[in-house]
Structure 1
Protein backbone atom coordinates (compact mmCIF):
# COMPACT_ATOMS: atom_id res chain seq x y z
CA UNK A 1 0.00 0.00 0.00
CA UNK A 2 1.33 3.43 -0.95
CA UNK A 3 1.46 6.16 1.69
CA UNK A 4 1.30 9.92 1.27
CA UNK A 5 2.61 12.69 3.50
CA UNK A 6 0.10 15.39 4.42
CA UNK A 7 1.72 18.78 3.79
CA UNK A 8 -0.04 20.32 6.80
CA UNK A 9 0.01 17.90 9.74
CA UNK A 10 3.10 16.10 8.35
CA UNK A 11 1.62 12.67 9.02
CA UNK A 12 1.67 9.71 6.67
CA UNK A 13 -1.64 8.20 5.57
CA UNK A 14 -2.60 5.57 2.98
CA UNK A 15 -2.86 7.27 -0.40
CA UNK A 16 -6.53 6.56 -1.05
CA UNK A 17 -9.96 8.21 -0.93
CA UNK A 18 -10.46 7.25 2.71
CA UNK A 19 -7.78 9.69 3.85
CA UNK A 20 -7.47 12.16 0.96
CA UNK A 21 -9.94 14.01 -1.23
CA UNK A 22 -9.49 13.50 -4.95
CA UNK A 23 -7.92 16.30 -6.97
CA UNK A 24 -7.95 15.94 -10.76
CA UNK A 25 -5.39 18.73 -11.13
CA UNK A 26 -2.80 16.67 -9.28
CA UNK A 27 -1.33 14.55 -12.06
CA UNK A 28 1.00 12.71 -9.67
CA UNK A 29 -1.50 10.66 -7.66
CA UNK A 30 -4.87 12.37 -8.17
CA UNK A 31 -5.32 13.43 -4.53
CA UNK A 32 -5.07 16.63 -2.49
CA UNK A 33 -1.79 17.55 -0.84
CA UNK A 34 -3.58 17.66 2.52
CA UNK A 35 -5.36 14.84 4.35
CA UNK A 36 -9.14 15.06 4.72
CA UNK A 37 -8.99 16.30 8.31
CA UNK A 38 -6.59 19.12 7.44
CA UNK A 39 -8.59 20.00 4.33
CA UNK A 40 -11.74 20.39 6.43
CA UNK A 41 -9.90 22.55 8.98
CA UNK A 42 -8.50 24.77 6.22
CA UNK A 43 -11.94 25.06 4.65
CA UNK A 44 -13.62 26.06 7.92
CA UNK A 45 -10.89 28.61 8.63
CA UNK A 46 -11.35 30.14 5.18
CA UNK A 47 -15.13 30.25 5.70
CA UNK A 48 -14.70 32.20 8.94
CA UNK A 49 -12.18 34.61 7.44
CA UNK A 50 -14.18 35.15 4.23
CA UNK A 51 -17.87 35.06 5.23
CA UNK A 52 -19.15 37.14 2.31
CA UNK A 53 -17.31 35.12 -0.33
CA UNK A 54 -18.41 31.89 1.32
CA UNK A 55 -22.03 33.02 1.35
CA UNK A 56 -21.92 33.87 -2.37
CA UNK A 57 -20.36 30.51 -3.21
CA UNK A 58 -23.06 28.65 -1.27
CA UNK A 59 -25.83 30.65 -2.93
CA UNK A 60 -24.36 29.85 -6.33
CA UNK A 61 -24.04 26.18 -5.42
CA UNK A 62 -27.63 25.93 -4.16
CA UNK A 63 -28.97 27.76 -7.19
CA UNK A 64 -27.23 25.38 -9.58
CA UNK A 65 -27.97 22.23 -7.62
CA UNK A 66 -30.66 20.22 -9.43
CA UNK A 67 -33.48 18.66 -7.44
CA UNK A 68 -32.64 15.20 -8.76
CA UNK A 69 -29.17 15.50 -7.21
CA UNK A 70 -30.71 16.17 -3.80
CA UNK A 71 -32.99 13.15 -4.18
CA UNK A 72 -30.08 11.02 -5.39
CA UNK A 73 -28.01 11.94 -2.33
CA UNK A 74 -30.83 10.95 0.01
CA UNK A 75 -31.40 7.66 -1.80
CA UNK A 76 -27.69 6.90 -1.65
CA UNK A 77 -27.70 7.43 2.13
CA UNK A 78 -30.68 5.10 2.49
CA UNK A 79 -28.95 2.42 0.39
CA UNK A 80 -25.83 2.65 2.56
CA UNK A 81 -27.97 2.09 5.64
CA UNK A 82 -29.86 -0.80 4.05
CA UNK A 83 -26.93 -2.75 2.60
CA UNK A 84 -24.81 -2.41 5.73
CA UNK A 85 -22.07 -0.15 4.35
CA UNK A 86 -22.87 2.56 6.87
CA UNK A 87 -22.64 0.08 9.76
CA UNK A 88 -19.37 -1.25 8.36
CA UNK A 89 -17.98 2.29 8.26
CA UNK A 90 -19.15 2.93 11.84
CA UNK A 91 -17.21 -0.12 13.02
CA UNK A 92 -14.01 0.92 11.22
CA UNK A 93 -11.29 2.81 13.09
CA UNK A 94 -12.08 5.99 11.17
CA UNK A 95 -15.79 5.59 11.88
CA UNK A 96 -15.19 5.07 15.60
CA UNK A 97 -12.97 8.15 15.71
CA UNK A 98 -15.63 10.20 13.91
CA UNK A 99 -18.27 8.96 16.36
CA UNK A 100 -16.06 9.86 19.32
CA UNK A 101 -15.51 13.37 17.99
CA UNK A 102 -19.22 13.70 17.31
CA UNK A 103 -20.02 12.75 20.93
CA UNK A 104 -17.55 15.33 22.20
CA UNK A 105 -19.10 18.01 19.99
CA UNK A 106 -22.60 17.14 21.20
CA UNK A 107 -21.51 17.45 24.84
CA UNK A 108 -20.09 20.90 24.13
CA UNK A 109 -23.25 21.89 22.24
CA UNK A 110 -25.71 21.59 25.11
CA UNK A 111 -27.91 24.68 25.39
CA UNK A 112 -27.73 26.61 28.64
CA UNK A 113 -31.16 28.21 28.80
CA UNK A 114 -33.83 28.38 31.48
CA UNK A 115 -37.19 26.60 31.28
CA UNK A 116 -38.88 29.97 30.94
CA UNK A 117 -36.64 30.94 28.01
CA UNK A 118 -37.32 27.63 26.28
CA UNK A 119 -41.07 28.04 26.79
CA UNK A 120 -40.96 31.54 25.29
CA UNK A 121 -38.88 30.28 22.38
CA UNK A 122 -41.44 27.57 21.58
CA UNK A 123 -44.34 30.00 21.95
CA UNK A 124 -42.66 32.36 19.47
CA UNK A 125 -42.76 29.55 16.91
CA UNK A 126 -46.33 28.56 17.85
CA UNK A 127 -45.14 25.47 19.72
CA UNK A 128 -44.04 23.99 16.41
CA UNK A 129 -40.88 22.98 14.60
CA UNK A 130 -39.39 26.17 13.16
CA UNK A 131 -38.39 24.31 9.99
CA UNK A 132 -41.37 22.16 8.98
CA UNK A 133 -44.18 23.44 11.20
CA UNK A 134 -44.90 20.14 12.98
CA UNK A 135 -46.84 20.97 16.15
CA UNK A 136 -45.44 19.79 19.46
CA UNK A 137 -48.62 17.80 20.14
CA UNK A 138 -47.80 15.63 17.11
CA UNK A 139 -44.13 15.14 17.95
CA UNK A 140 -43.92 11.39 18.53
CA UNK A 141 -40.73 9.34 18.32
CA UNK A 142 -40.57 5.59 17.84
CA UNK A 143 -38.72 4.03 20.77
CA UNK A 144 -38.49 0.30 21.49
CA UNK A 145 -41.23 -0.39 18.96
CA UNK A 146 -43.62 2.19 20.41
CA UNK A 147 -44.37 5.78 19.50
CA UNK A 148 -43.84 8.09 22.45
CA UNK A 149 -44.46 11.81 22.71
CA UNK A 150 -41.40 13.95 23.37
CA UNK A 151 -40.57 17.63 23.56
CA UNK A 152 -39.15 19.46 20.56
CA UNK A 153 -35.39 19.60 20.22
CA UNK A 154 -33.36 22.67 21.19
CA UNK A 155 -31.78 23.23 17.80
CA UNK A 156 -28.37 24.86 17.32
CA UNK A 157 -28.93 26.88 14.15
CA UNK A 158 -25.21 27.59 13.93
CA UNK A 159 -23.52 24.30 14.76
CA UNK A 160 -20.46 26.10 16.11
CA UNK A 161 -22.39 28.97 17.66
CA UNK A 162 -23.49 29.98 21.13
CA UNK A 163 -25.32 27.75 23.59
CA UNK A 164 -27.84 30.40 24.61
CA UNK A 165 -31.21 31.50 23.25
CA UNK A 166 -29.58 33.53 20.47
CA UNK A 167 -28.71 30.27 18.70
CA UNK A 168 -31.75 28.21 19.62
CA UNK A 169 -34.98 27.37 17.82
CA UNK A 170 -37.40 24.46 18.31
CA UNK A 171 -36.99 21.57 15.90
CA UNK A 172 -38.60 18.18 15.43
CA UNK A 173 -36.38 15.10 15.51
CA UNK A 174 -36.61 14.60 11.75
CA UNK A 175 -35.49 18.13 10.85
CA UNK A 176 -32.81 18.11 13.53
CA UNK A 177 -31.36 14.89 12.14
CA UNK A 178 -31.48 16.08 8.54
CA UNK A 179 -29.91 19.47 9.24
CA UNK A 180 -27.06 17.85 11.18
CA UNK A 181 -24.07 20.24 10.98
CA UNK A 182 -25.14 22.06 7.80
CA UNK A 183 -25.41 25.84 7.79
CA UNK A 184 -28.95 27.19 7.80
CA UNK A 185 -28.96 28.52 4.23
CA UNK A 186 -27.11 25.46 2.98
CA UNK A 187 -29.81 23.09 4.23
CA UNK A 188 -32.97 25.16 4.61
CA UNK A 189 -33.60 26.52 1.12
CA UNK A 190 -35.94 25.98 -1.83
CA UNK A 191 -34.54 22.47 -2.32
CA UNK A 192 -35.82 21.44 1.10
CA UNK A 193 -39.34 19.94 0.83
CA UNK A 194 -40.41 21.67 4.07
CA UNK A 195 -39.00 25.07 3.15
CA UNK A 196 -41.16 28.19 3.16
CA UNK A 197 -39.99 31.79 2.97
CA UNK A 198 -42.35 32.70 5.81
CA UNK A 199 -40.70 30.25 8.19
CA UNK A 200 -37.21 31.31 7.10
CA UNK A 201 -38.06 34.97 7.72
CA UNK A 202 -39.40 34.10 11.15
CA UNK A 203 -36.25 32.14 12.02
CA UNK A 204 -34.02 35.02 10.93
CA UNK A 205 -36.17 37.56 12.76
CA UNK A 206 -35.82 35.53 15.94
CA UNK A 207 -32.07 35.07 15.59
CA UNK A 208 -31.41 38.66 14.57
CA UNK A 209 -33.10 40.35 17.50
CA UNK A 210 -36.37 38.99 18.83
CA UNK A 211 -34.60 36.30 20.86
CA UNK A 212 -32.87 38.94 23.01
CA UNK A 213 -36.22 40.17 24.29
CA UNK A 214 -36.72 36.81 25.98
CA UNK A 215 -33.23 36.17 27.37
CA UNK A 216 -33.31 36.23 31.17
Structure 2
Protein backbone atom coordinates (compact mmCIF):
# COMPACT_ATOMS: atom_id res chain seq x y z
CA UNK A 1 0.00 0.00 0.00
CA UNK A 2 1.56 3.25 -1.14
CA UNK A 3 -1.34 5.64 -0.70
CA UNK A 4 -3.96 6.68 1.85
CA UNK A 5 -7.12 8.74 2.20
CA UNK A 6 -6.87 12.26 3.66
CA UNK A 7 -9.26 12.66 6.59
CA UNK A 8 -9.63 16.37 5.80
CA UNK A 9 -10.43 16.57 2.09
CA UNK A 10 -11.35 12.90 1.58
CA UNK A 11 -9.03 12.42 -1.41
CA UNK A 12 -6.80 9.36 -1.77
CA UNK A 13 -3.19 10.36 -2.37
CA UNK A 14 0.29 8.85 -2.41
CA UNK A 15 2.35 8.78 0.80
CA UNK A 16 4.60 11.47 -0.68
CA UNK A 17 1.64 13.88 -0.31
CA UNK A 18 1.56 13.38 3.48
CA UNK A 19 3.98 14.53 6.18
CA UNK A 20 5.62 11.79 8.22
CA UNK A 21 4.54 11.12 11.82
CA UNK A 22 6.18 8.28 13.74
CA UNK A 23 3.34 7.95 16.27
CA UNK A 24 0.84 6.75 13.62
CA UNK A 25 0.41 3.17 12.38
CA UNK A 26 1.58 3.87 8.82
CA UNK A 27 4.08 6.56 9.84
CA UNK A 28 2.24 9.46 8.17
CA UNK A 29 -0.17 12.20 9.26
CA UNK A 30 -3.89 11.72 8.60
CA UNK A 31 -4.22 15.04 6.70
CA UNK A 32 -2.43 15.57 3.39
CA UNK A 33 0.23 18.26 2.96
CA UNK A 34 -2.14 20.56 1.08
CA UNK A 35 -4.79 20.45 3.82
CA UNK A 36 -2.15 20.85 6.53
CA UNK A 37 -0.80 23.89 4.71
CA UNK A 38 -4.26 25.45 4.51
CA UNK A 39 -4.89 24.86 8.22
CA UNK A 40 -1.53 26.41 9.12
CA UNK A 41 -2.21 29.38 6.86
CA UNK A 42 -5.57 30.07 8.52
CA UNK A 43 -3.98 29.78 11.94
CA UNK A 44 -1.28 32.32 11.01
CA UNK A 45 -3.91 34.71 9.66
CA UNK A 46 -6.08 34.38 12.78
CA UNK A 47 -3.15 34.64 15.22
CA UNK A 48 -0.81 37.12 13.53
CA UNK A 49 0.48 38.77 16.71
CA UNK A 50 1.08 35.45 18.48
CA UNK A 51 2.89 33.96 15.47
CA UNK A 52 5.13 37.01 15.16
CA UNK A 53 5.99 36.79 18.85
CA UNK A 54 6.87 33.11 18.55
CA UNK A 55 8.99 33.78 15.47
CA UNK A 56 10.79 36.66 17.18
CA UNK A 57 11.53 34.54 20.26
CA UNK A 58 12.82 31.70 18.10
CA UNK A 59 15.14 34.01 16.18
CA UNK A 60 16.37 35.54 19.44
CA UNK A 61 17.08 32.16 21.04
CA UNK A 62 18.58 30.50 17.97
CA UNK A 63 20.66 33.22 16.32
CA UNK A 64 23.79 31.09 15.92
CA UNK A 65 21.90 28.17 14.39
CA UNK A 66 19.94 30.43 12.03
CA UNK A 67 23.13 32.19 10.99
CA UNK A 68 24.88 28.88 10.36
CA UNK A 69 22.01 27.42 8.33
CA UNK A 70 21.69 30.63 6.36
CA UNK A 71 25.39 30.62 5.48
CA UNK A 72 25.21 27.01 4.27
CA UNK A 73 22.15 27.72 2.11
CA UNK A 74 23.62 30.90 0.61
CA UNK A 75 26.87 29.13 -0.25
CA UNK A 76 24.97 26.41 -2.10
CA UNK A 77 22.52 28.74 -3.86
CA UNK A 78 24.43 31.96 -4.57
CA UNK A 79 22.76 32.86 -7.88
CA UNK A 80 19.25 32.11 -6.66
CA UNK A 81 19.83 34.10 -3.47
CA UNK A 82 21.17 37.13 -5.38
CA UNK A 83 18.16 37.11 -7.71
CA UNK A 84 15.71 36.75 -4.84
CA UNK A 85 17.34 39.62 -2.96
CA UNK A 86 17.28 41.79 -6.09
CA UNK A 87 13.55 41.16 -6.63
CA UNK A 88 12.78 41.70 -2.95
CA UNK A 89 14.49 45.11 -2.98
CA UNK A 90 12.47 46.18 -6.02
CA UNK A 91 9.19 44.99 -4.48
CA UNK A 92 9.96 46.32 -0.97
CA UNK A 93 11.91 49.59 -1.36
CA UNK A 94 10.94 50.89 2.09
CA UNK A 95 12.04 47.76 3.93
CA UNK A 96 15.17 47.59 1.80
CA UNK A 97 16.06 51.10 2.91
CA UNK A 98 15.44 50.16 6.55
CA UNK A 99 17.69 47.12 6.18
CA UNK A 100 20.44 49.33 4.80
CA UNK A 101 20.12 51.60 7.85
CA UNK A 102 20.30 48.60 10.20
CA UNK A 103 23.43 47.29 8.47
CA UNK A 104 25.14 50.69 8.55
CA UNK A 105 24.33 51.19 12.23
CA UNK A 106 25.71 47.75 13.08
CA UNK A 107 28.86 48.44 11.09
CA UNK A 108 29.46 51.72 12.94
CA UNK A 109 29.00 50.06 16.33
CA UNK A 110 31.26 47.11 15.54
CA UNK A 111 34.01 49.41 14.29
CA UNK A 112 34.03 50.95 17.77
CA UNK A 113 33.89 47.59 19.48
CA UNK A 114 30.33 48.20 20.71
CA UNK A 115 27.46 45.69 20.86
CA UNK A 116 25.35 45.68 17.69
CA UNK A 117 22.48 43.25 18.13
CA UNK A 118 19.48 45.48 17.29
CA UNK A 119 17.00 43.73 14.97
CA UNK A 120 14.13 44.70 12.66
CA UNK A 121 11.64 43.01 15.00
CA UNK A 122 12.93 45.07 17.93
CA UNK A 123 12.62 48.23 15.84
CA UNK A 124 9.02 47.39 14.95
CA UNK A 125 8.27 46.81 18.65
CA UNK A 126 9.90 50.13 19.49
CA UNK A 127 7.89 52.02 16.86
CA UNK A 128 4.68 50.42 18.07
CA UNK A 129 5.39 51.35 21.70
CA UNK A 130 5.85 55.02 20.80
CA UNK A 131 2.86 55.05 18.46
CA UNK A 132 5.06 55.52 15.38
CA UNK A 133 5.90 59.00 16.66
CA UNK A 134 9.04 60.81 17.77
CA UNK A 135 9.79 59.78 21.36
CA UNK A 136 11.03 63.30 22.13
CA UNK A 137 8.53 65.72 20.59
CA UNK A 138 5.64 63.32 19.97
CA UNK A 139 5.18 64.28 16.33
CA UNK A 140 4.21 61.43 13.99
CA UNK A 141 6.53 61.11 11.03
CA UNK A 142 6.74 58.50 8.30
CA UNK A 143 10.53 58.60 8.17
CA UNK A 144 11.47 58.18 11.84
CA UNK A 145 15.15 57.72 12.58
CA UNK A 146 16.87 55.45 15.11
CA UNK A 147 18.36 57.57 17.87
CA UNK A 148 21.02 56.27 20.26
CA UNK A 149 19.95 57.47 23.73
CA UNK A 150 23.59 57.14 24.75
CA UNK A 151 25.52 58.28 21.65
CA UNK A 152 27.94 55.95 19.89
CA UNK A 153 30.68 58.47 20.71
CA UNK A 154 29.92 57.95 24.41
CA UNK A 155 29.92 54.16 24.20
CA UNK A 156 26.24 53.57 23.47
CA UNK A 157 25.69 50.30 21.65
CA UNK A 158 23.27 49.51 18.85
CA UNK A 159 20.97 47.48 21.09
CA UNK A 160 17.24 47.60 21.89
CA UNK A 161 17.71 49.24 25.30
CA UNK A 162 19.56 52.17 23.69
CA UNK A 163 17.43 52.92 20.61
CA UNK A 164 14.24 55.00 20.38
CA UNK A 165 12.48 56.65 17.41
CA UNK A 166 13.18 60.31 16.70
CA UNK A 167 12.13 62.70 13.97
CA UNK A 168 14.89 64.13 11.80
CA UNK A 169 14.77 67.48 13.60
CA UNK A 170 15.15 66.05 17.12
CA UNK A 171 17.76 63.51 16.07
CA UNK A 172 19.85 66.16 14.31
CA UNK A 173 19.54 68.51 17.27
CA UNK A 174 20.50 65.92 19.88
CA UNK A 175 23.37 64.32 17.97
CA UNK A 176 26.14 63.53 20.52
CA UNK A 177 24.54 65.36 23.44
CA UNK A 178 23.78 63.88 26.84
CA UNK A 179 20.16 62.70 26.74
CA UNK A 180 18.95 64.37 29.93
CA UNK A 181 20.74 67.69 29.39
CA UNK A 182 19.56 67.94 25.80
CA UNK A 183 15.95 66.92 26.47
CA UNK A 184 15.59 69.42 29.32
CA UNK A 185 16.91 72.28 27.17
CA UNK A 186 15.53 71.49 23.71
CA UNK A 187 12.08 73.01 24.24
CA UNK A 188 10.29 69.71 23.56
CA UNK A 189 10.48 68.29 27.09
CA UNK A 190 7.41 66.93 28.86
CA UNK A 191 7.15 64.78 31.99
CA UNK A 192 4.81 62.41 30.18
CA UNK A 193 7.21 61.71 27.29
CA UNK A 194 10.23 61.51 29.60
CA UNK A 195 8.47 58.94 31.76
CA UNK A 196 7.39 56.98 28.68
CA UNK A 197 10.97 56.83 27.42
CA UNK A 198 12.27 55.87 30.85
CA UNK A 199 9.77 53.05 31.27
CA UNK A 200 10.48 51.68 27.82
CA UNK A 201 14.25 51.58 28.25
CA UNK A 202 14.04 50.32 31.82
CA UNK A 203 11.80 47.45 30.75
CA UNK A 204 14.54 46.33 28.37
CA UNK A 205 17.67 47.14 30.38
CA UNK A 206 16.40 46.13 33.81
CA UNK A 207 19.78 46.85 35.36
CA UNK A 208 19.62 50.60 35.84
CA UNK A 209 22.24 51.30 33.18
CA UNK A 210 20.01 53.90 31.59
CA UNK A 211 18.81 55.90 34.58
CA UNK A 212 16.60 58.46 32.86
CA UNK A 213 14.01 61.00 33.88
CA UNK A 214 10.74 59.97 35.48
- Bigger fraction of residues in helix: 2
Structure with max Cα Rg: 2
- Name which structure has the greater RCO, CA cutoff 8 Å, separation 6+: 1
TM-score (norm 2): 0.40
